[in-house]
Amino acid sequence: MDVERLKARADEIAERESARLLERTAASKSLFERAMRSMPNGVASNFQAGHPYPVYLSKGQGSKMWDVDGTEYIDFHGGFGVNVVGHAHPKIVEAIRKVADQGIHFAVTTETTVALAEAICERFQLEQMRFVNSGTEATMDAIRVARAATGRDLLVKMEGSYHGHHDSVLFSVVPEADVLGLRHNVDQQGRTWYTTEPTSKGVPRALWDTVIVVPFNDANAVEQAFADNPDRIAGVILEPVMMNIGLVPPKPGYLQALRDACERNGAALIYDEVKCGGTIAYGGTTERFGVRPHLAAYAKAVGGGATIGAFGGEARFMDLVTRGAAQQGTFNGNPLSAAAGLAALTEVLTKDAYDHLGKLGTMLAEGCERAIGESDLPAHAVDLGAKGCVSYRKEPLENYRDFLETIPELFYASFSWMINRGIFMTPGDEEQWTISVQHTEEDVQRYVDAFSEFCAELAS
C-alpha cells in the first residue's frame, strides 16, 4: 500500500477510535474540566497532557491500572519507564509503610539513604554518587560537575535528545520542538553540525553558544567538535541507547570511541541513564555495552516508583561537589524515596528479574514484528530489556534524521486503537513501552493480539 493511502487509512482509524475513546471517558472529561481551573492543560506536567483531554487514572495493581471511569488497562506506559517494578509491589509497599511510621523526612542523611547509595554504586559500577529528585536535576548536576572539573563551558549533545528541562540542554529536543513547530526545522544543507534554536521559550539564547549538537551514532562528528573547539568542551552527554526517538541502540564501537575521544581531550563522557538505568540490564549501559562513562545520571526506575534521581561516576569528578560545585537539595536522599528505591533495587530488580523482562520484551517485539510483516507495513519493532517500541519506518533507526522519516499518523492511530482495547500506551511517537516484573506472557499476548488487529485494519 502506498504511504499516502496508508496515512489516510490511519487518519480514518484515529478519528473513529478517538471518538470511541471520548465516548467512554466521561469521568476523565469531567475531572479535566475541574483540573483546568487550577492547572494549565489540566495536568501536572506538559508530558501528561492529552488531546482534547487525557485519560485520568485512579489506581494500579500489578501489571494493571484503572482509569477514573473504572476501565481496566494493562500498563505498557510504565510511568515513562519508572514502573519496572509494576504497581503496588508488596515489597515496595511494605518498605514505604515502614518509613511512613518512622518519619517521612528529615533533610539529614539516614542509613537507608546510605544503603541505597551503596546499591546504586554497586550495580552501575560508580565510585561515588549523590542524590537528587529527578532526571532533570541528575543531568543538570552531572553537567555542572563536568564543567567544574574541566573549567570549560561547552557541551556536546546529540541531535533530538532529551535530557530534562533545565536550560543547558533544551536545544534540538523532540518534545518541545513539536509544540514550537521545530521538529523538522533542521539544517538539510549538509552542514556538519545539526542544531536548532532553543526548543523551549524562556531559555536564554546566550546558552545556545554553549551547546554543540551532533548526530547520534557518529563518533567522527564528536571528534570534529573537539578538533574545532580545542580545550573548550567540558563534556559529551548522551543517552547511550537513544530513547526519545523510539529506541536506537549505539553502533558497535561507538561508546568506546566517545570514551576515547573524551579521554584524549580532557572532557567527561556523561551517560544520561535516566531511562536506560534499571531497564536495559541489571547494571545499565555499563553492563550491557561494556563501556564506562566518567559520569552518569539516573532517575525513573531506580526509585521503584518514588521520586528520586542520582548522578555519579569517577571520584575525581564527584569530588568537585566538595570543592565549590553546588550540589544540594532539601529533599535529596529523602527516606521515603530511599526506602522505595532500596527495596526496588535490592529485592525486586534482582539479576533474575532481567531474564524475565528480557524474555517478555523479546516475545512482545517478535509478536509485533510478525504482525507488521503479515500486513506488510512500513514499520519495525525493536526491544532491549524492559523497553521496546514499534517505529513506523521499515529500516531500523540510527539517529534523529531517521526518526524524521517515520510516519507519525500510523502511531497516532495505534494509540487510540490500543487504549480502546485495554492496552495503555505512552502518548508520543518518540516514546516506548515499559514491561514490569509483574507482567505475564498473557499480558504480552494481549498487546500482540490488539496490535495484530490494528495492523490488519490499517492494511485492509
Ligand X SMILES: Cc1ncc(COP(=O)(O)O)c(C=O)c1O
Active-site residue numbers?
162, 272, 300
3-state secondary structure of 211: strand
Nearer to ligand X (CB atom), residue 139 or residue 265:
139
Closest CB 135 distance from ligand X, rounded Å: 2
Q: Does 341 bind ligand X (CB under 6 A)?
A: no
Applying CB under 6 A, among 71, 136, 172, 265 the residue interacting with ligand X is 136
Q: Which three cell numbers stand for residue 85?
A: 517494578
Q: Give the number of other Cβ atoms within 10 Å of residue 272's Cβ.
A: 34
Q: Does 215 bind ligand X (CB under 6 A)?
A: no
Within positions 18 to 77, which residues make up the interface with ligand X, using CB under 6 A?
none
Closest CB 369 distance from ligand X, rounded Å: 25
Q: Give the number of other Cβ atoms within 10 Å of residue 243's Cβ.
A: 26
Of 65, 300, 359, the closest CA to residue 162 belongs to: 300
Closest CB 139 distance from ligand X, rounded Å: 6
Count of residues binding ligand X (CB under 6 A)?
14
Q: Does 246 bind ligand X (CB under 6 A)?
A: no
- The DSSP H or E segment spanning 135 is helix 135-150
Closest CB 277 distance from ligand X, rounded Å: 10
3-state secondary structure of 346: helix
Choices 69-77, 111-119, 181-189, 268-276 (CB under 6 A): range interacting with ligand X: 268-276
Q: Does 80 bind ligand X (CB under 6 A)?
A: yes
Applying CB under 6 A, among 63, 112, 139, 327 the residue interacting with ligand X is 139
Report CA torsion sign: 280, 286, 291, 295. positive
Q: Give the number of other Cβ atoms within 10 Å of residue 36's Cβ.
A: 13
Nearer to ligand X (CB atom), residue 54 or residue 367:
54
Choices 100-108, 130-138, 386-394, 419-427 (CB under 6 A): range interacting with ligand X: 130-138
Nearer to ligand X (CB atom), residue 386 or residue 448:
386
Nearer to ligand X (CB atom), residue 272 or residue 429:
272
Nearer to ligand X (CB atom), residue 112 or residue 139:
139
Residues 284-323: x where in contact with ligand X by CB under 6 A, - otherwise, as a string: ---------------x------------------------
3-state secondary structure of 47: helix
Applying CB under 6 A, among 17, 159, 218, 272 the residue interacting with ligand X is 272
Applying CB under 6 A, among 135, 235, 240, 284 the residue interacting with ligand X is 135
Q: Does 83 bind ligand X (CB under 6 A)?
A: no
Residues 6+ apart with CB under 8 A from 334: 104, 105, 133, 307, 308
Q: Does 163 bind ligand X (CB under 6 A)?
A: yes
Choices 218-226, 230-238, 257-265, 271-279 (CB under 6 A): range interacting with ligand X: 271-279
Residue whose cell numbers read 563536568: 146
Closest CB 137 distance from ligand X, rounded Å: 7
Nearer to ligand X (CB atom), residue 203 or residue 450:
203
Applying CB under 6 A, among 85, 268, 274, 410 the residue interacting with ligand X is 274
Choices 27-35, 107-115, 272-280, 330-338 (CB under 6 A): range interacting with ligand X: 272-280
CB 46 within 8 A of CB 398: no
CB 345 within 8 A of CB 302: yes
Choices 185-193, 229-237, 270-278, 446-454 (CB under 6 A): range interacting with ligand X: 270-278
Closest CB 428 distance from ligand X, rounded Å: 10
Q: Does 327 bind ligand X (CB under 6 A)?
A: no
Nearer to ligand X (CB atom), residue 240 or residue 367:
240
Angle at which helices 3-23 and 408-419 pack, to 10 degrees?
30
End-to-end CA distance of the chain: 10
- The DSSP H or E segment spanning 368 is helix 351-374
Q: Are strands 387-391 and 433-434 parallel, antiparallel or unpaired?
A: antiparallel
Closest CB 52 distance from ligand X, rounded Å: 24
Q: Is the backbone peptide bond immediately before 52 cis, with ω within 30 degrees of 0?
A: yes
Q: Does 434 bind ligand X (CB under 6 A)?
A: no
* Amino acid in position 419: I
How many Å apart are CA 363 and CA 366, to the nearest integer? 5
- The DSSP H or E segment spanning 409 is helix 408-419
Nearer to ligand X (CB atom), residue 9 or residue 77:
77
Distance set, CA 118 to CA 124, 131, 132, 320 (Å): 10, 12, 15, 20
Q: Residue 227, exposed/middle/buried by CB under 10 A (0-12, 13-18, 19+)?
A: exposed
Residue whose cell numbers read 544540594: 328
Q: What is the CA radius of gyration of the chain?
A: 22
* DSSP conformation letters of 15-37: HHHHHHHHHT-HHHHHHHHHHHH
Q: Does 162 bind ligand X (CB under 6 A)?
A: yes
Per CB under 6 A, residues contacting ligand X are 80, 134-136, 139, 162-164, 239, 244, 272, 274-275, 299
